[in-house]
Amino acid sequence: MHIVTGGAGFIGSGFVHQLNRMGIEDILIVDNLGSMEKWKNLVNLRYSDYLHKDNFLSRLSRGDFAGVESIIHMGACSSTTEKDADYLMSNNFHYSMKLALFCLKNKVRFIYASSAATYGDGSQGFVDDHRQMDNLKPLNMYGYSKQLFDLWIKKQGLLSGVAGLKFFNVFGPNEYHKEDMQSVVRKAYFQIRETGRVRLFKSYHPEYGHGEQKRDFVYLKDCLEVMAWLLERKDINGIYNLGAGQARTWNELAKAVFQAMHVRPDIEYVDMPVELRGKYQYYTCAPMDKLGNAGCPVKFHSLEDGVRDYVQNYLNREDPYLG
């Protein structure tokens, strides 16, 4: 059995789809569906059971699950604007610790989601070298909760037994429930459809023009391929960047959406909310040498190709979900 926490969420449900493509259906999905729309991510998927995240942890500690081959831990609060620090400590840090200890004790493959938010403003670089992890200073509590778990893994001497992934700006199908945390690709698609125009934040940094802030945008399907490779390669461990390896501007991203929709570009620059201005990353780029040197065979989509596939094969469809 394979267990996917956050299995109804964006990357988690995507990985359940990836497992289905690999012929695997003995999957336990762990999540907190609540009253959100993310249950729709499950409709096209094949899996054996679902458990609420609180029930799962208590049953795991009782030893209720036998024959567990892997825990793919994508479950976390991923909101970069979440202000409840105690919740993030409990949900993102302590919960992850318990899962990691279970996997190591029972020789179960453990793959978990870290985040590029751990790099903060990028002044310390974006190199996924565990020797430099202690110097990173995240800009928000979400990033700090992920950083704490990475550091715990390191201090416990567990880097050789687990695989962590520092996801950069992931976009793609099954993010539809994420509200304000949806990718700009999806937001831009609906802005263009409704108004013919895309709204981007103005720059408040003298080195960057409006819309010229740069991020490493990576397509969901590429992330899923990397995760599938890591699932099969239990000898590959450590913490790795997972981005496309290129920094592209928000303007380029918006123009890729316009192009995929066959609409002439029209971009409006709007004020950034005051509360975000001191916590905003103006540049991210994932050096991908470490993953490449480990032998990862995945060929990443270009930004334009990833956006085109997402827009034309998912956002344009009546049923836009993976499966």
Catalytic residue flag (residue 137) = no
Question: Within a domain: residue 303?
Answer: no
Catalytic residue among 40, 53, 154, 178: 178
- Beta strands, E only, the chain: 2-5, 27-31, 49-52, 70-73, 109-115, 163-167, 169-171, 198-201, 214-215, 217-219, 238-242, 248-249, 267-270
Question: Within a domain: residue 25?
Answer: yes
Is residue 11 over pLDDT 80?
Answer: yes
Question: Within a domain: residue 271?
Answer: no
Rounded to whole angstroms, how far apart are CA atoms 146 and 74? 12
Catalytic residue flag (residue 310) = no
Question: Within a domain: residue 186?
Answer: no
Is residue 80 over pLDDT 90?
Answer: no
Considering Cα of 57, then 59, then 63, then 69, what sign does the dihedral take? Answer: negative
Question: Within a domain: residue 164?
Answer: yes
Give the side-chain half-sphere CA count within 13 A for 74: 22
Model pLDDT, residue 86: 86
CB 174 within 8 A of CB 14: yes
Model confidence over 90-145: pLDDT tens digits? 888 999 999 999 999 999 999 999 999 999 988 889 999 988 899 999 988 899 99
Structural domains counted in the chain:
1
Model confidence over 269-320: pLDDT tens digits? 999 999 888 888 899 999 999 999 999 999 999 999 999 999 999 999 999 9
Question: Within a domain: residue 85?
Answer: yes
CB 9 within 8 A of CB 41: yes
Residue 87 — very low, low, confident or very high, per pLDDT cuts 50/70/90?
confident
pTM recorded for the entire structure: 0.94
Share of the chain above pLDDT 70, in %: 100
Rounded to whole angstroms, how far apart are CA atoms 305 and 147? 32
Paired tokens of 220: 């969901």
Residues 142-175 as b/e (b if ≥16 CB within 10 A, e otherwise) read bbbbbbbbbeebbeeebbebbbbbbbbbbbbbbb
Q: What is the CATH number of the domain that holds 82?
A: 3.40.50.720
Model confidence over 180-210: pLDDT tens digits? 889 999 999 999 999 999 999 999 999 999 9
Question: Within a domain: residue 9?
Answer: yes
Question: Within a domain: residue 235?
Answer: yes
**Boundaries of domain holding 135:** 2-172+217-245+285-298
Tell me the average pLDDT of the chain: 94
User: Angle, to 10 degrees, between the axis of helix 184-195 and the axis of helix 303-310?
Assistant: 60
Catalytic residue among 95, 119, 142, 219: 142
